[in-house]
Structure 1
Amino acid sequence: MNQNARLTKTMCETARMGAEAIGMLLSKTDDEGMRNVMLSQKAMYEKFDREGEKMLTEAGQRVKKQGPLARAGTWMGIQMDTMMDNTSSHLADMLIQGSTMGVIEITRAKSENPEADGKAVELADQYLKEENENIERLKKYL
């Protein structure tokens, strides 16, 4: 697999995981503002997943879907983490931590794939920009 594909695949997997986690978190808030921020962030993840998957398909590659065990682990972690505290502040904290992990993953993937170029790097850079904007938007809920 070439470096463009590796970078794009990492971005897709990271975006997909974020979208799934937010999908599980949406029912935990009654705060309309927080819900709108979460929906916007989920839509961003879905957009990057689609764009990346399209690029990978054109290159003859596929993104591995998260398995049921991993999804169950994510669900269980979210349930446990929100059982005692599902305030907007706590949800924002969880989302900021997840977004920060995404920034780290994409930044690491860029470093590990220095020969990646063109659309793959452009998409990864846009992902990082929007993910950092998500973090800033969420800070007002802390």
Structure 2
Amino acid sequence: MTQSELEKEIYKTASMGEHAAESMLAYSQSAGIKRSLTSQLNQYRNFKRKIESGNQIPQATSSMKDRMLKMGVKMNLMMDSTPSHMAKMMIQGSNMGIIDLQSALNHHPEAPKEQKQLAQDMISFEQQTIEAYKKYL
């Protein structure tokens, strides 16, 4: 069984979120933000595991994109590592994830119901994440 485009997008979005949260944890000075990032990181890993549990090995994001993401986070946080700024960065990332996932859902109406539900679950998670980070703004 080949991996569907929707599965690829879910996995890509979860991987990007995972890498961003991991990178930000190293710079976090706030216990509250650390808890939020750790919780978010664990949830991204859960989404990845759900895709990985299928028969097809997921296509990983490119190592170049990963390095660029980590470098961007590092540069951004070197200038401002306040909880407010970190929250803004995570909110922006979650918004991008929502956009990418919704676009994938719209472009792949033929995807199996389980995959559509997983994408919807991830969108809901990203929306909850945005709400959780608003208190740090």
Structure-1 residue corresponding to 2:35: 36
Report 1:82-93 matches (<5 A). Answer: 82-93=77-88
2:129 counterpart of 1:113: no
Structure-2 residue corresponding to 1:21: 20
- Can you list the C-alpha shifts for 1:45-64, whole angstroms capped at 9, x where unaligned? 00001101223x2xxx3322
- Can you list the C-alpha shifts for 1:11-30, whole angstroms capped at 9, x where unaligned? 01110111011101101111
2:9 counterpart of 1:6: no
The residue type equivalent to 2:71 in the other structure is: M
- Provide the aligned length of Structure 1 versus Structure 2: 137
Q: Provide structure 1 residue ranges, at least 5 long, that are not aligned to the other structure.
A: none
TM-score w.r.t. the length of structure 2 is 0.94
1:28–1:82 Cα contact (<8 Å) kept:
yes
2:90 counterpart of 1:95: yes
Which runs of at least 4 in structure 1 moved beyond 6 Å after TM superposition? none
The residue type equivalent to 1:43 in the other structure is: N
Identity rate, percent: 35
- Quote the Cα distance in structure 2 between the aligned partners of 1:79 and 1:121: 34
Q: How far is 1:135 from its partner?
A: 0.5
- Can you list the C-alpha shifts for 1:35-90, whole angstroms capped at 9, x where unaligned? 000001111100001101223x2xxx332222322221111111111111000000
Q: How far is 1:117 from its partner?
A: 2.8
- Can you list the C-alpha shifts for 1:99-124, whole angstroms capped at 9, x where unaligned? 00000010000000011132101111
Structure-2 residue corresponding to 1:77: 72
Q: CA RMSD in A?
A: 1.5
2:47 counterpart of 1:48: yes
